[in-house]
């Protein structure tokens, strides 16, 4: 445990937990890769392996497209970024419409969300993904039953790492930032939480734009979301 100390990670003092979506609750890289490569193919550009796409994910779809265009430029290929962004959204929606979804729920997520809900905590998802897509995935995988609020990247607010979407989620949940915890997998999540005044816990998997999540300066790590309830209740126990 790092900066926040036990008090900030105590189920007794917390009222809400905010979660990132991609790379934290859901592994969405396969679908993102498929949509991106279909958009690239329309411009007769080289496709990118899923392993490469994983390191490009972060800060929303505009960030993904920006990094993909830069990657192609290194190889001497020129892409229309605006068209690529537009067509990515088209193909990503089509993947959902055609039920080609390969997204999966990370191990421990279902049990972790259920237990946090049972502890009386309000739960939210704060993502740079469009809200409709986020809600659709949460519903598809049965996670929406525990999620009280979803803030998407198309809300008209700043996207993470700006604190605004986290503060908006806290406002909708009726809690102060000091009563909430952010859980994520990237520097974007950590920066947003710090700026909003929330404690932050990280998972060691996910994307983090290709950097090792274990190097993130968060308050604590959990191997999976399933380990979060134990972390919060351990913080409640008096030290020997």
What CA–CA distance (Å, rounded) separates 119 from 233? 9
Extract long-range pairs of 36-39: CB within 8 Å, 24+ residues apart: 36/64, 36/68, 36/88, 36/91, 38/87, 38/91, 39/84, 39/87, 39/88, 39/90, 39/91
Q: Is 20 annotated as catalytic?
A: yes
Percent with pLDDT over 70 in the chain: 95
What is the per-residue pLDDT across 87-112, written as a single tens digit (0 to 9) for each? Answer: 999 999 999 999 999 999 999 999 99
CB 102 within 8 A of CB 34: yes
Average pLDDT of the chain to the nearest whole number:
93
- Residue pLDDT, tens place only, 195-232: 999 999 999 999 998 899 999 999 999 999 999 999 99
Q: What is the spatial distance between Cα 168 and Cα 63, in angstroms, rounded to a whole number?
A: 22
pLDDT digits (tens, 9 = 90+) for 110-169: 999 999 999 999 999 999 999 999 999 999 999 999 999 999 999 888 999 999 999 999
7, 20, 22, 27: the catalytic one is: 20
Q: Is the pTM of this model over 0.85?
A: yes
Residue 127 contacts residue 22 (beta carbons within 8 Å): yes
Give the pLDDT score at 80: 96
């Amino acid at each position: 445990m790092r900066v926040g100390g036990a008090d900030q990670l105590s189920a007794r003092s917390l009222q809400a937990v905010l979660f990132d979506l991609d790379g934290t609750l859901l592994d969405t890289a396969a679908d993102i890769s498929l949509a991106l490569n279909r958009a690239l193919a329309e411009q007769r550009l080289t496709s990118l392996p899923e392993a490469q796409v994983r390191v490009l994910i972060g800060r929303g779809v505009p960030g993904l497209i920006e990094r993909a265009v830069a990657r192609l430029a290194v190889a001497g290929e020129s892409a229309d970024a605006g068209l690529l962004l537009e067509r990515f959204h088209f193909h990503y929606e089509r993947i959902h419409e055609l039920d080609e979804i390969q997204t999966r729920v990370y191990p421990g997520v279902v049990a972790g969300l259920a237990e946090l809900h049972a502890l009386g905590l309000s739960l939210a998802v704060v993502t740079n993904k469009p809200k409709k897509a986020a809600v659709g995935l949460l519903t598809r995988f049965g996670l929406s039953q525990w999620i009280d609020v979803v803030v998407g990247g198309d809300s008209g607010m700043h996207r993470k790492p700006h604190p605004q979407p986290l503060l908006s989620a806290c406002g909708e949940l009726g809690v102060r930032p000091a009563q909430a915890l952010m859980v994520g997998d990237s520097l974007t999540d950590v920066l947003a939480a710090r700026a909003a005044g929330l404690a932050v816990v990280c998972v060691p998997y996910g994307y983090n734009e290709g950097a090792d999540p274990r190097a993130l300066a968060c308050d604590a790590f959990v191997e999976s979301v399933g380990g979060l309830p134990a972390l919060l209740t351990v913080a409640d126990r008096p030290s020997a």
